[in-house]
Amino acid sequence: MVVAIAESAPVRSTFTKTRAGKALVRRFVAGDTLAEAIEAAQKLNRQGMKVSLDLLGEEVNSPVEVEAALASYVACLEEMAASSIDGNVSIKLTQLGLAFDPDLARATLDRLADSAARLGLTVTIDMEDSTHTGETVDIYADAQPRHGNLGLALQAYLYRTPDDLLRLMPLGGHLRLCKGAYVEPEAVAFQSTSEVDAAFARLLNVLMGYEEVTPAVATHDPQLIDLARQLNHQRRQPFEFQMLYGVRPQAQVELAAAGYPIRIYVPYGSRWYPYLVRRLAERPANLGFFLRALVSR
């Protein structure tokens, strides 16, 4: 429902044309340019938080666009190293061609992982909708043992994730556990909030109990954050919390102040629309605030 409203042409144009729309975009997206993302990253670093920079743009349909995405990510990694940013990059395999040429996506990931390794940096692969899950897991399982500087997001709402987790944990790297942000059918994913939360808790127990991988606990949910804190008492190796730029910023500062490692996912770039729609769908109140701000102008 929220996705349908947000994707309708009149609502879409108000995000770009009104002050309330632009403010909403700026809450969740650091800026259109790499320079703005670096500035946001520096600010977060100063507050004791690491970052993961995400160049937005998932509708990639040609090798030319893949090459452009790779060049932008390499430029991002180089700028991060030059500016001594404490962080890494997050990518989507569809940006590297997964939707039309999986071999190209594999080869491009190899090139990106090599560039990151030369700079001493890591790359996290986001998990997209379930039509891409199998290939994404397979590509990661092939690439991580060869490169060693990769990580992958896994979605608690998918029925297959417990098996993926057991397969991938022995590969080391970092595994980001999130609830899952796409609209998925009942055939592949839990539908209710309580089922998704319970699945997240079960997976978190497994992940935090495995010392050879770095768990990234990617949630803003206070109960799951508390669970991770409890599980950390038995853990010897590091883990980190991860949150999204603009979501519960006060909680981000508090976790950092309490001494927990925390990384903020910082999206940037001009192709922000699908990302914004996912943030609105997670919390329909965001769309309500925006629509009220529009009519009260």
Q: Any idea which residues carry the catalytic annotation?
A: 126, 176
Strand-pairing partners, residue 189, are 158
Q: How far is the CB of 28 from ligand FDA (least distance, A)?
A: 7
Cβ closer to ligand FDA: 63 or 288? Answer: 288
Site mask for ligand FDA (CB under 6 A), range 242-281, x = bound: xxx--xx----------------x-------------x--
Which one, 147 or 179, has the nearer CB to ligand FDA?
179
Residue 219 engages ligand FDA in binding (rule: CB under 6 A): yes
Q: Work out how close the CB of 25 gets to ligand FDA at its nearest, in angstroms, rounded to a whole number.
A: 13
Helix (H) or strand (E) holding 41: helix 34-46
Q: How far apart are the first and last CA of the chain?
A: 25
The span from the CA of 169 to the CA of 172, in Å, is: 6
| 147 near ligand FDA, judged by CB under 6 A | no
Q: Give the separation between CA 159 and CA 279, rounded to whole angstroms.
A: 23
CB-nearer residue toward ligand FDA: 64 or 187: 187
Based on CB atoms, which residue is closest to ligand FDA, 67 or 202? 202
**Interface pick for ligand FDA out of 91, 153, 169, 171 (rule CB under 6 A):** 153
Kindly state the helix (H) or strand (E) to which residue 9 belongs, with its residue range: helix 9-17
Instruction: Give the integer Cα–Cα distance in Å for 208 and 189.
Output: 23
Separation between Cα atoms, residue 152 and residue 52, nearest integer Å: 13
Interacting span for ligand FDA (CB under 6 A) from 17-25, 97-105, 113-121, 178-186: 178-186
Min. distance of Cβ 57 from ligand FDA in angstroms? 15
Residue from 182, 210, 273, 289 that binds ligand FDA (CB under 6 A)? Answer: 182
Nearest Cα neighbor of 179 from 159, 200, 160 is: 200
As a whole number of angstroms, the distance between CA 145 and CA 125 comes to 15
As measured in angstroms, the least distance from the Cβ of 237 to ligand FDA is 20
Structure token pair of residue 281: 């769908």
CA–CA distances in Å: residue 236 to residues 130, 168, 209, 211: 33, 20, 9, 7
Q: Tell me the residue type at 55.
A: L
133 contacts 99 by C-beta, under 8 angstroms:
no
Query: Rounded to whole angstroms, how far apart are CA atoms 232 and 237?
Result: 9
CB 105 within 8 A of CB 67: no
Identified binder of ligand FDA from the candidate list 178, 208, 227, 287, rule CB under 6 A:
178
Binding ligand FDA (rule: CB under 6 A), the pick from 94, 179, 189, 272 is 179
What's the closest the beta carbon of residue 179 comes to ligand FDA, in angstroms? Answer: 4
Residues 68-127 that bind ligand FDA (CB under 6 A): 126-127
Out of 74, 93, 113, 181, the only residue in the binding site for ligand FDA (CB under 6 A) is 181
- The binding site for ligand FDA (CB under 6 A) comprises 126-127, 153, 155, 176, 178-182, 218-221, 242-244, 247-248, 265, 279, 282-283, 286
